[in-house]
Structure 1
Amino acid sequence: MNDLILHHYPSSPFSEKVRVILGYKKLPRKSVHIPPIMPKPDMVALTGGYRRTPILQVGADIYCDTALICDVLEHVRPEPTLYPPHLKGACRIFAQWADSTLFWAAMGYNLQPKGAAHVFAKAPPEAAKAFSDDRRAMSGNLVRLRPGDATSAYRSYLRRIANMADEHDFLFGMEPCVADFAAYHGIWYTRAQVPVLADILNATPSIAEWADRVAAIGHGPATKLSSADAIALAAAAEPQAPGANLLIDSAFRDDHGIPLGSPVTITPETFGSEPTEGELIAATRTHYSLRRTDPRAGVVHVHFPRTGYVLRAAQPA
């Protein structure tokens, strides 16, 4: 297997989710730091348009969205599992809720004016404006919670998670699963990136104890890699054939009337609506795969989870 290459930046919440999962599975990685805002020319050379953080690169195969990255890492190293057999459905549904509803409440709270001022305290004023403009452009039609509403929702969700943390070392038992890592990253941002707002956690001490246990897992070994070198590795590699890569399902499932081999676009449903265009080479029960060619990265296969993404036939030029 080629090296696992994680494209991320240190303060990215979803990157923290994957970093801790890599630590949990004791998987080494190459680490490429990318800009937190556009432009991201080296990342887009690999993805073709997708710009959310992180992405996972394995040779000339590019995996987008942490839900899919979790499945890939589970296939690479099945033990310890992210999906305990007796909890497989429950922990996946909880993780989907945590990555969406909980995350947006947490970040609406975390990046209220006091939190944003802390994050950008040492940066020039134009940096805060650039970040705000970038995230506004990514939001599209997404309805973002106002700080007061986000605070109310976050408090409520923290109490519910605390009820789970009161019972076990981790949310669903004595060992962590994907639910823990999905719930952790927004709370990690509160604790690590905006500690001036961390007093919201004082009412739920079991969450702090649980978060300490998750943090103690660590990130595992990482070796720095430049984005230029990551692109060169992609250009030198051959992407895996559909059904022969780290995604274990391969049967074609046609819900759109779009045959394999068609030019298509794939776009996130909500946040970060930049489309990726390419040739549809897989549409399975769980994921889509596109083949595309970049002048620098060469032929790459870009993979997306099926849930949360919109597949359309590409419009003729």
Structure 2
Amino acid sequence: MPDLILHHYPMSPFAEKARLMLGHKGFSWQSVTIPSVMPKPDVLALTGGYRRTPLLQVGADIYCDTALICDVLEHRQPTPPLYPEHQKGVARVLAQWADSTLFWAAMGYALSPKGAAALFAKQAPEVGQAFAADRAAMRTGMVNLRAGDATAALRSYLRRLSTMVEEQPYLLGQAPCVADFAAYHPLWFIRVINPAMAGILEATPHVTEWLDRMAAIGHGTSSKITSTDAIAVAAAAQPAPLADDAFQDEHGIDLGSRVTVAAEVFGQEPTEGILRAATRTRYTLERTDARAGRLHVHFPRIGYVLREVRA
């Protein structure tokens, strides 16, 4: 099978989620380090507009959003599972909460004025300014939690997580699942990337023990390649044949139509292309790039908006 190529950068929380899932599955994978802020010309060559981190590339197929990346990894190697038998629905719902509500509370706390000052204390002022400006642009239209509200919410969420791991090693039982990886990465950001703010974890020792268990999973085996190399891989490949999944039309938009797909919130830059699939779980757009060639760009349905491009 084609190699897995993860496009990411070290301090990205969602990239840490993907890296740890790759380790959980025991994959060997190729690593492309991308910029943390715009411009990202090599990313856009692959996605056509989407700029959130990480991306998973498999030949000429580009998978956006870690929720979809979870499904791709599970399909490629079902064991050990990310979705526990008899708890698949609970695991997905808990993961969605962690990737959204828990994540934004953690970021509101970790990137508060005090947290941002600590995070960028050893870097030139323009680095922190560029990061703040970039993320402000990505949050256009979002309601942001104030630092005090985020802190109060995070303390409550930590207590709730603590009750889940007091008598079992992982959130839903004896083995980690998608919910653990989703809840782990925002707390990893606080603990590892901005440790000056990690004191909030001291009141929930069961959570820190769970974090230790998750960290021990590791990232599997990776090798570095450049973004230029990754684009060349895409250009030399063709998108994989699409699975024969039923077309699920919720919009009155036919397959073969020119459309855009964009995130509902945070990083709403659209990707435009030809709609090649709309299944119960994902959209697939075909697009062509001068450097990367013909691509299929895949998005999960949940959290994304499909629109027809009208002449």
Same fold (TM over 0.5): yes
1:265 maps to 2:260: yes
Matching residue's letter, 1:38: M
TM-superposed CA distance for 1:115, in Å, is: 1.4
Give the structure 1 partner of residue 235 of structure 2.
235
Give the structure 1 partner of residue 250 of structure 2.
255
- Give matches, 1:1-317, under 5 Å: 1-243=1-243, 250-316=245-311
Partners of 2:262 and 2:142 lie apart in 1 by 14
Residues 266-288 of structure 1 show CA distances to partners (whole Å, capped at 9, x for unaligned) of 01000100000000000000000
Partners of 1:118 and 1:231 lie apart in 2 by 36
* TM-score, scaled relative to structure 2: 0.99
Partners of 2:12 and 2:308 lie apart in 1 by 32
Partners of 2:245 and 2:4 lie apart in 1 by 22
SS at match of 1:302: strand
Partners of 1:297 and 1:124 lie apart in 2 by 35
Partners of 2:92 and 2:305 lie apart in 1 by 20
Residues 94-137 of structure 1 show CA distances to partners (whole Å, capped at 9, x for unaligned) of 00000000000000000012211122122111111111110010
Segments of 5+ residues of structure 1 without an aligned counterpart are 244-248
Matching residue's letter, 1:250: D
Partners of 1:262 and 1:6 lie apart in 2 by 29
Partners of 1:45 and 1:167 lie apart in 2 by 47
TM-superposed CA distance for 1:83, in Å, is: 0.4
Partners of 1:266 and 1:107 lie apart in 2 by 26
SS at match of 1:85: coil
SS at match of 2:62: strand
Residues 174-220 of structure 1 show CA distances to partners (whole Å, capped at 9, x for unaligned) of 11000000000000011001111111011100000000000000001
Query: Alignment length, in residue pairs?
Result: 311
Partners of 2:191 and 2:185 lie apart in 1 by 10
Which range is displaced more, 59-68 or 139-148? 139-148
Matching residue's letter, 1:112: S
Q: Percent identity?
A: 65
Partners of 1:242 and 1:93 lie apart in 2 by 27
TM-superposed CA distance for 1:315, in Å, is: 3.2
* TM-score, scaled relative to structure 1: 0.97
Segments of 5+ residues of structure 2 without an aligned counterpart are none
Partners of 1:122 and 1:225 lie apart in 2 by 28
Partners of 1:148 and 1:301 lie apart in 2 by 43
Q: CA RMSD in A?
A: 0.7
Matching residue's letter, 2:23: G
Residues 279-301 of structure 1 show CA distances to partners (whole Å, capped at 9, x for unaligned) of 00000000000000000000000
